[in-house]
Structure 1
Amino acid sequence: MLFKPSQLAIATHCALFLLVLPVTHANAESSTQATENQTSMERMIITGSRSAERIEEVPSSVTLIEQQTLAQDMLMTSQLQNLLAFRVPGLAPSTGTSSNSGQNLRGRAALVMIDGVPQSTPLRNGKLGISSIDAGVIERIEVIKGATSIYGNGASGGIINYITKRASEDKARVKVGASSKFSAVKLQDSAGYRVDTSIDGTVDNFSYVFSAITEKTGVERDSEGDAIGLVYGLSETKSNNYFTKLGYQLDDDKSIQLTYNYYEAQQESDYIDVVGNANTGEKTYSIDNTTGIVKLGVPQGPRGNHNLMLKYVDQDIFTNTQLTVDGYLQKIENMFFFSTALANLSEGYEGGQSFIKSEKKGLRVNFATQVDWDNVESTFIYGIDALQDISSQPLEDGRIWVPEMDMRNLAVYLQTKFVIADDWVIKAGIRQDSVDLTVDDYQTLKLCRTPSTCSVPFDVTGGELTYNSTTYNIGLRYNMNEFFNPFMSFSQGADISDIGRLLRTATVDDIALIRTESSIVDNYEIGFSGQLGDLNYEIAAYRSKSELGTSNSFDATTGIYLPVRAPQKIWGYEAQVDYRVLDNLNTGLSYSWVEGKDTETDTYIDGGTISPPKLTAYISWQPVEEASIGINYMYVGDRDRFEPVDGAYIGSQGPIENYNVVNLTSSYQLNNWQLSLGVENLLNEDYFSARSQASTNASYYTQALGTTINVGIKASF
């Protein structure tokens, strides 16, 4: 055993933290200087190397969603799946639900984090991590694409890091907002509400942020006015987010900061589903429950996700070296929908409702040392990561589907960066992970598709699985001039596949016989970026491969999805252009394309992993100083790689037909007040999301949201 859970818990509770970035914040002497400082901050990222660095020094693709952009998009919707799908090239289109299943990053899983703390649950990946916080408490979002071992397991496709809001450097700032969202196609039962309040400020050396957000959605309706199906649905969902951040500047170099975030989102609907058929084109929708029969199950969704983070930073622990010590505690319970697939009538179960339960305790010690000589600026980032992750998937009725998995991970790493003559950037790193995973003896769950067709439960001997992996990365960037800056990189990520899914579908009597090996993902990327006057662009091509797969395949005999353990390759490219037409008019577009194959069988990977082509475009116009208007456009292309089996598509192999979506945002500022109007699906496009089309699961075959209006008012004091 690398370390005892009790030792980790003690270390975590005793650790001190700081969220202050290694960037000097000077007081603005003028509005011009303040703008320049803000622009400088917006060009900095911390996710890629754990230390603040300029985007111009990163030899790989990065997407930043800055506060201004995020605030504008939130005038239309607060759903992060939708916001990210539009703003991040390489991220699959939104499912339009609470689930990000199929919403992969470059065809592989992304690790979702809040201020660097993992929200994803790789041991039993329920693919609900994107919706783990309310967008209203996010300052900015950093997305690093491609496999990475910087933060450990679960980042085979990259990282999505939500950076939470900072306190203002002035007196108390109070913000209050209220809005209502409703269907423009059919108003009945569709109106909801959102209330967002916050206060933040700085008093001497003490800073604070307090935020409380409550949102209640009405019945979501498609382009025909029908209520959208409830599985992973967002209809009649009430969410609460309570956020606190407290900081104290001990002296010029040392700071401490405590952050706590609580998030829940429970769907409590009186509607019931009318199940369709994806192969015949009959959509699934919902209707008001007038049968008098009580619905089975409890509300679905996150029912109390807690994140406690403490950080301490010494900017000058010794010569030219910064120390960051941070630890975190996290508790997650994500409830799935009630499913008759979890039935066992002989034992009195008409179905079942599972939830993912995960508790994490982590401690990280990070050093960043800068050494300069002649024309070379060098940075060395090194440290230790310790993590305990206890995850399981029980059923609400007390049955156990996935037994408790106790993972203890200890890692050491070194990341280096050399900036030569201000033009050449060379980055290289290594990380060594040692993982112990313990599972007690358990029995697989007996499930019955019909009263006479049941799975055979297996008594499985548990034990301890050990993983040791060493991953590397190296990158090169040449900032030739402002017009053309090429880059190339190789990076690896170690991914312990969805162990929980492997355990729950075991057909052997010993855990040692299950293929639970970790998958090493090799990622290659080449691209270039630049600026031509008021035009900024970036183009990148990539390829990733793994000897063991990181996706799932459908077993038509059992009706369940099984992990793919065969070699895979995924490749694609992305392009993004932004153009400032006038001082008050900006526009841009992006295009991303990805494809993948299981190389052992030379067959394409299904739509649960590989998304269709995606094109986005936007226009942002400020006709007068007080008003702004934005139009977003998304085109999702075709993908048809599979043939029907016995006249019907199976699994996630359904053909995807293209669709177009146009959204509108607008606002008007009147002194301290802001009036806003947002419209999703402005043209009331009649379409099914890419995930809905690809999947043959009837419960997922729901039409997307029809024209929906969001009106709001905000005040700042």
Structure 2
Amino acid sequence: MFRSSFTLIAMAVSCASMANEVSQSESNTSEIEQIIVSGSRVFESIDEVPASITVITQKQIEDHLKVNPELQNLLAQIVPGLAPDTGSSSNTGQGLRGRAPLVMIDGVPQSTPLRNGSLGIRTLDASAIARIEVIKGATSIYGNGASGGIINYITKQAQADGQVEGEVSLSSRFSAVKLAESGGARISAAINGRADKFSYLATIGYEENGVQRDAEGDILGLQYGLSDAVTENYFTKLGYDFDEDKQLQFSYNYYSSQQKTDLGDVFGNINSGEKSYAQHVAPELQKKGKPQGPAGNENITLKYTDYAVFTNTQLTLDAYMQDIENIFFFSPNLANPEAGFTGGQSVIVSEKQGARATFNTAIDFDNVAATLIYGIDALNDVTSQPMVDGRIWVPEMDMQSLAGYLQTKWVIADDLVLKAGVRQESIDIEVEDYTTLKLCRSADQCSVPMSVKGDTINYDAATFNFAIKYNGYEQFSPFASYSQGSDVSDIGRLLRTATVKDIGLIQTDASITDNYEVGFNSQLENLRFEFALFKSTSELGTSSVFNEKTGVYEPVRAPQRIWGYEALVDYKLSQTLDLRATYSFVEGKNTANNTYLGGRQIAPPKFTASLNWQANDTLSMALNWLYVGDRKRFEMNDKNQYVADQGPIDSYNVLSASASYQLSHNFNTYMGIENLLNNNYYPARAQAYAYGGYNVKGLGRTITLGVKYSF
């Protein structure tokens, strides 16, 4: 079963031996501008990556925390190609170039692709992050789940040398439209230091939200809502240097974010233009079930690095464990009156254990610098989606994955960069016999239970990538790339809606995504310009269609084509004033019947602009603008209703501002105002989704006040 993977691994190891013989010179990695790591799993200069990349710096993260602490909001503002913020705890509908990204912490996957609940972006507090790297487009370097690209949170490292350093930040966030009950509190703290060969870092983030209000002063709807949410994050990283070449590092992350509220929803309707909102209600009408959100997700990683395991070769070994429990909201659509269930609440439970070995070999020829990156990945992922009440909606899926890969980079005459790589992956997913649930939206609209014979699903796929970039001129540095990603679709969605008696008859085939991209970068004195055109195709994309008889949204497997373009302008107006603007357009179709894809995958056009002013050594100010354009591709059905994710999207604007003042060497105070003009709008997802409870308006004018102490 894994023979092809081991063949590639053997080939990679032989390359290491060849590299060891070809070159005996030592590489000087200190001369490399180490900006980006996630694209090829090792440090490399961003100028040598022939693809569209967005790197969000620690300063950008800290500046955004003055306005909004949510990572979805930060990513939507800065990353071209990422869909607008959903304004909720869920990132469903917030795809990257029309496809789901793989979210990682230091290269360890956080998403649950076997049953994608779209909760991966909220897995770490922003205060623990040193930078965020976003690679757009399918990639084979990380395997399953990366058909849309990668969002990699790079955590902070210990910086202090012989002394203790740290910081404490306190802030409050509240509605400027209606103050009552909206006040929240947030504290974050970090400490790091080094004692001889031992280094340590620890961060804590704790936040209690008040109610969140829209521009009319009403409390936002509770479905995936953040009102009354309590968020906790505890992160630690310990390191030990055996010598200058060998390091051992241990990290632990705990993240919990649950909505603990006594409110109840008043559901509106997208077709009648009525918004959903929350209000105080009698106990029997309050939000039922357990608090929704991640219920204490944990990650443990052990990493060993040897910078000189062979001549010119670096070795990285890491092992990780992960325990995820994401609780969803109580839904009456998960009812079964015959069995006594008035509704239901599901939980995605996922346990991962993985190990990886990565080799990085540098070879110097005449006028050519070559890098070989190769290794193996092994992963066991056990995921299911039971109900809180004990029913099983998605049976346990036990995935065993083994992959080998080889990635090469060739820098010719310092200016021409060539990349080529291959990944061979073998996946087995074992599913026992199970029975689908009978679920009723109403007395006469119920699904039909189906007893399904289980089996082991096998996947074997080889994916390839090739890219070229020319850096001869700063004024025009073009690139082109082709990359593939192998994606095991959201198997859980397919299993829970099965209409056949044998798992072998369910269309669970993996899909190969082909990604094509051309673009260029330009540096003209104080102006930087980036532009990219892209297209991706998949043999078997997954969308949904509503079955009027059963009340179930059934997955549809069909070929898809997605295309678009992105642009970025970064202009230094003066020594103290910077302007950054982005624009992205993405569109997509089901090519089998030439119909447009819905809002779950395709976002409307997006324009963002940021103006940053460093007035003096103590005062800085920023103004951020988000514009989301129209997208109206669908007509109402014969009942004069929009269905699924096909609602029309009207344009809207959101303007935010922030200011920071350095009181002293140790104290900094700041203020942020989100939705400065108190625009009354629905976010893009709220307009596109006809599913019940999603039509929640955007956050009204909201103020953040805070102070930070550093030592």
Q: TM-score, normalised to structure 1's length?
A: 0.94
1:690 to 680, 684, 693: 684
Is 1:678 matched up with 2:669? no
Is 1:54 matched up with 2:50? no
1:19 matched to which residue of 2? none
Residue 67 of structure 1 aligns with an amino acid whose one-letter code is Q
2:102 matched to which residue of 1? 111
2:19 matched to which residue of 1? none
**Partner of 1:414: helix, strand, or coil?**
strand
Contact 1:344 1:451 in 2 (8 A): no
Alignment of 1:374-523 (within 5 A): 374-523=366-515
Is 1:168 matched up with 2:159? yes
**Partner of 1:611: helix, strand, or coil?**
coil
2:594 matched to which residue of 1? 602
Contact 1:496 1:518 in 2 (8 A): yes
Distance (whole Å) between structure 1 residues aligned to residue 29 and residue 201 of structure 2: 18
Residue 559 of structure 1 aligns with an amino acid whose one-letter code is G
2:655 to 647, 653, 662: 662
Cα gap change, 1:323 to 1:625, in 2 (>3 Å): same
What per-residue deviation string (whole Å, max 9, x for no partner) do you get for residues 132-174 of structure 1?
1111111100000000111110111100000011111321112
Cα gap change, 1:553 to 1:421, in 2 (>3 Å): farther
**Partner of 1:351: helix, strand, or coil?**
coil
Distance (whole Å) between structure 2 residues aligned to residue 314 and residue 80 of structure 1: 33
Distance (whole Å) between structure 2 residues aligned to residue 551 and residue 243 of structure 1: 37
Contact 1:346 1:451 in 2 (8 A): no
Cα gap change, 1:524 to 1:627, in 2 (>3 Å): same
When the two chains are superposed, the root-mean-square deviation of aligned CA atoms in Å is 1.5
Aligned residues: 686
Is 1:543 matched up with 2:559? no
Contact 2:104 2:152 in 1 (8 A): yes
**Partner of 2:63: helix, strand, or coil?**
helix
What per-residue deviation string (whole Å, max 9, x for no partner) do you get for residues 1-28 of structure 1?
759xxxxxxxxxxxxxxxxxx99898xx
1:626 matched to which residue of 2? 618
2:697 matched to which residue of 1? 703
Deviation of 1:346 (Å): 1.4
Deviation of 1:212 (Å): 1.3
Distance (whole Å) between structure 1 residues aligned to residue 326 and residue 135 of structure 2: 26
**Partner of 2:47: helix, strand, or coil?**
helix
Contact 1:221 1:228 in 2 (8 A): yes
Distance (whole Å) between structure 2 residues aligned to residue 64 and residue 551 of structure 1: 31
Greater shift after overlay, 561-570 or 480-489? 561-570
2:71 matched to which residue of 1? 80
Where does structure 1 differ by over 3 angstroms across 4 or more consecutive aligned residues?
A: 22-26, 290-295, 550-559
1:649 matched to which residue of 2? 642
**Partner of 2:484: helix, strand, or coil?**
strand
Long gaps (5+) in structure 1: 4-21, 27-36
Distance (whole Å) between structure 1 residues aligned to residue 499 and residue 698 of structure 2: 38
Contact 2:659 2:670 in 1 (8 A): yes
Is 1:66 matched up with 2:57? yes
Distance (whole Å) between structure 1 residues aligned to residue 470 and residue 2 of structure 2: 41
Is 1:235 matched up with 2:218? no
Distance (whole Å) between structure 1 residues aligned to residue 333 and residue 284 of structure 2: 23
Residue 655 of structure 1 aligns with an amino acid whose one-letter code is P
Greater shift after overlay, 196-205 or 273-282? 196-205
1:221 matched to which residue of 2? 213
1:15 matched to which residue of 2? none
Distance (whole Å) between structure 2 residues aligned to residue 686 and residue 426 of structure 1: 49
- Percent identity of the aligned residues? 57
Contact 1:78 1:136 in 2 (8 A): no
Deviation of 1:289 (Å): 1.8
Alignment of 1:105-184 (within 5 A): 105-170=96-161, 171-184=163-176
Deviation of 1:553 (Å): 3.6
Contact 1:220 1:234 in 2 (8 A): yes
1:9 matched to which residue of 2? none
Greater shift after overlay, 443-452 or 338-347? 443-452
Cα gap change, 1:555 to 1:451, in 2 (>3 Å): closer
What per-residue deviation string (whole Å, max 9, x for no partner) do you get for residues 384-436 of structure 1?
00000000000001100000000000000000000000000000000000000
**Partner of 2:700: helix, strand, or coil?**
coil
Distance (whole Å) between structure 1 residues aligned to residue 418 and residue 467 of structure 2: 6
Distance (whole Å) between structure 1 residues aligned to residue 409 and residue 166 of structure 2: 41
Greater shift after overlay, 415-424 or 192-201? 192-201
Greater shift after overlay, 163-172 or 478-487? 163-172
Long gaps (5+) in structure 2: 4-25
2:325 matched to which residue of 1? 333
Residue 249 of structure 2 aligns with an amino acid whose one-letter code is Q
Residue 440 of structure 1 aligns with an amino acid whose one-letter code is E
What per-residue deviation string (whole Å, max 9, x for no partner) do you get for residues 3-56 of structure 1?
9xxxxxxxxxxxxxxxxxx99898xxxxxxxxxx9xx76x61110001111111
Deviation of 1:452 (Å): 4.0
